[in-house]
């Protein structure tokens, strides 16, 4: 059980007049992706099969991720009663399934796995912070604040275990960087775009590029420079670089420019 439950959300404050339909589409997608937390927890328990302390933490973590999905799904259903969260979850799972049979990390080492988890939590913590600041709908704001705090705590959890495994495995900087870069690139590998498709589209067939762009167009425009700077500092820390040096500032500026330009280009194309 996490630090909060669905009963802590002030559902009675829901203000439908303040719902942005574009944000609603991305929230529906996020509600599906979060539900994969249980499968990812199972995968982590397989990879860390002889580390019961980490397994216990991973199971708790998975439950918290699933709760994120439930909270977002409930919000989306209240706003749009036609949205069938259970049905959309089923469609999503049919098209995208986490591989559960692994006994070793797909990142090569356990340290690599933990770096990848840190990158994911950097992404989710930045996303919910940005979303919570962007939305004017009070209930979604309250949900995002809670989830963003959880995601930051998850980052710290995986980072703590990463330090422990790095002492044992001693993987070098370039390997750490390669895992982090690989996981960043994977953010466009289909999980998010398929969730966006399963949550919002009924008729058309899935097209990776199309739904990647549809998702990115609605999400990239939510980020402000400070979200990107903080996210880059978290990535730097995970790969073993100074999180507040000049290199970090430069990387954050480039990332911010890239996201800003991409959001504008996709917005122009859709207009």
Closest CA to 159 of 127, 120, 191: 120
Residue with the two structure tokens 């900087």 = 173
For residue 76 the two structure tokens come to 């989306």
Q: To the nearest whole angstrom, how small is the minimum distance from the Cβ of residue 14 to Fe ion?
A: 21
Q: Minimum distance from CB of 120 to Fe ion (Å)?
A: 7
Q: Which is nearer to Fe ion, 154 or 175 (CB)?
A: 154
How does DSSP classify residue 6? G
* Residue with smaller CB distance to Fe ion, 158 or 197: 158
Shortest distance in whole angstroms from residue 129 CB to Fe ion: 12
Q: Where are the alpha helices (DSSP H) in the chain?
A: 21-34, 37-47, 52-79, 85-95, 110-134, 138-169, 173-186, 191-200, 208-220, 225-239, 246-270
Q: Which stretch binds Fe ion (CB under 5 A): 118-126, 135-143, 179-187, 237-245?
A: 118-126
Structure-token pair, residue 87: 């049905």
Kindly tell me which of 126 and 213 has the beta carbon lying closer to Fe ion: 126
Q: What number of other Cβ atoms are within 10 A of residue 210's Cβ?
A: 15
Quick one: tokens of 114? 């933990």
68 binding Fe ion? (CB under 5 A): yes
Beta carbon of residue 246, minimum distance to Fe ion (angstroms, whole number): 30
Q: Applying CB under 5 A, which of residues 154, 161, 183, 218 lies at the interface with Fe ion?
A: 154
How many chain residues bind Fe ion (CB under 5 A)? 6
Rounded Cα–Cα distance for residues 271 and 67 (Å): 35
137/151 with CB nearer Fe ion: 151
What's the Cα-to-Cα distance from 28 to each of 51, 57, 75, 90, 160, rounded to whole Å?
35, 27, 9, 13, 31
Interacting residues with Fe ion between 25 and 64 (CB under 5 A): 34
Residue 191 interacts with Fe ion (CB under 5 A)?
A: no
> Judged by CB, which is closer to Fe ion: 147, or 266?
147
Residue of 65, 113, 137, 191 interacting with Fe ion (CB under 5 A): 65
In angstroms, what is the minimal distance from the CB of 68 to Fe ion?
Answer: 4
Tokens of 265: 């280009």
Q: Identify residues 120-139 at the interface with Fe ion (CB under 5 A).
A: 121
Contact set with Fe ion (CB under 5 A): 34, 65, 68, 121, 151, 154
């Amino acid at each position: 059980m996490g630090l909060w439950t669905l009963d802590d959300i002030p559902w009675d404050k829901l203000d439908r007049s303040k719902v942005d339909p574009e944000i609603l589409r991305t929230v529906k997608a996020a509600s599906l992706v979060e539900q994969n937390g249980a499968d990812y927890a199972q995968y982590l328990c397989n990879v860390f099969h002889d580390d019961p302390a980490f397994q216990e933490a991973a199971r708790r973590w998975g439950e918290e991720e699933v709760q994120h999905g439930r909270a977002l799904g409930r919000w989306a259903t209240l706003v749009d009663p036609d949205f069938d969260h259970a049905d959309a979850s089923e469609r999503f799972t049919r098209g995208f399934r986490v591989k559960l049979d692994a006994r070793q990390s797909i990142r090569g080492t356990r340290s690599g796995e933990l770096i990848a988890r840190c990158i994911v939590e950097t992404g989710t913590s930045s996303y919910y912070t940005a979303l919570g600041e962007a939305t004017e709908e009070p209930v979604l704001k309250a949900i995002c604040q809670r989830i963003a705090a959880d995601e930051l705590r998850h980052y710290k959890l995986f980072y703590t275990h990463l330090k422990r495994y790095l002492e044992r495995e001693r993987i070098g900087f370039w390997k750490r960087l390669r895992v982090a870069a690989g996981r960043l690139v994977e953010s466009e590998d289909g999980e998010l775009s398929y969730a966006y498709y399963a949550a919002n589209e009924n008729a058309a067939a899935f097209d990776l590029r199309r739904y990647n762009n549809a998702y990115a167009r609605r999400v990239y425009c939510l980020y402000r420079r400070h979200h990107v700077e903080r996210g880059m500092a978290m990535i730097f820390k995970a790969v073993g670089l100074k999180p507040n040096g000049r290199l970090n500032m430069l990387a954050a500026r480039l990332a911010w420019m890239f996201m800003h330009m991409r959001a504008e280009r996709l917005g122009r194309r859709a207009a």
